[in-house]
Structure 1
Amino acid sequence: MFSSSILLQILACAIYGNWWPMLSALMYVVVPMPCMFFGGGSTQSLISRDGGGWIDAAKFLTGASTVGSLAIPIILRHAGMIETGAMLIEFTSFFIFICTVMCFHRASLDDDW
């Protein structure tokens, strides 16, 4: 699923001959970083209510980078730098990426795996 998300990123750039949409692919690298650095490397800390300052910072930064992943194509489209089709392909890619993360999180919660 992650590979198809990256493929859609590349197709959004290649079909329209504009490589600006690759900025949101950079956000795919940034999204898991707060969880890895501040959350102890576990996705369990993002859904728990307890925590501390570092866990809350990880939650905030993960949310901010997720919103940035959606905002970059919208801003680029509003500025006229990318086409509407490229923006829609970017949104599809983001949806597949989020589904991949949710499947990984669900599999990591189960002890049977």
Structure 2
Amino acid sequence: MEPIVALIAMAFAAAVGVTFLVLGCALYDNWWPMFVLIFYFLSPLPTVISRRMSDSLDTASSACVELAIFLTSGIVISAIGLPLVLAHVNTIDWGACALVLAGDLVVFLTILGYFFVFGNEDMDYSSW
């Protein structure tokens, strides 16, 4: 897939994921699930910092890479857990929780897709 097509597809997917989040908030008139946006912004940071600090992500035994994976998985699990906890204590409805979880799934898969498509360090950006 051409990088520009992948970028457009990922932008569309991210917009769909955020739309699910906004629908979960607006339809049920409760804006507490919007705190999940913080996790959306925090989730790629450990990987970005790890790539900057380590020589290569190909070495699976690098402590920096392992820490980045651990922190990223903690952020993703927190983003999934927040709407579940809010629904469990009746702060939000379960329908809003389902929409937020659908948005989480789409957004995090989009972030993962970004790292798969643009993670190659040898990519020539002048070929677009």
Same fold (TM over 0.5): yes
TM range (shorter): 0.7 to 0.9
Code of the residue aligned with 2:45 in structure 1: it is: M
Aligned pair partner of 2:33 in 12, 16, 21: 21
Larger radius of gyration: 2
Aligned pair partner of 1:79 in 89, 97, 117: 89
2: CA distance, partners of 1:41 / 1:94:
28
Q: Using a 3 Å threshold, how does the CA distance of structure 1 residues 95 and 39 change in structure 2: closer, same or farther?
A: same
Code of the residue aligned with 1:80 in structure 2: it is: N
SS of the residue 2:16 aligns to:
helix
Which residue in 2 is equivalent to 1:33? 45
Q: 1:27 touches 1:65 (CA, 8 Å); kept in 2?
A: yes
2: CA distance, partners of 1:108 / 1:38:
15
Report the TM-score, using the length of structure 2 for normalisation. 0.74
Specify every segment of 5 or more residues in structure 1 that has no aligned partner in the other structure, as ranges.
none
RMSD: 2.3
Specify every segment of 5 or more residues in structure 2 that has no aligned partner in the other structure, as ranges.
1-12
1: CA distance, partners of 2:65 / 2:116:
20
Give deviations 1:31-89, integer Å, cap 9, x for gaps.
111112233289x73x751312x222211111100100110011101111000100000
May I ask how many residue pairs the two structures share in their alignment? Answer: 110
Aligned structure 1 segments of 4 or more residues deviating by more than 3 angstroms = 109-113
Q: Percent identity?
A: 24
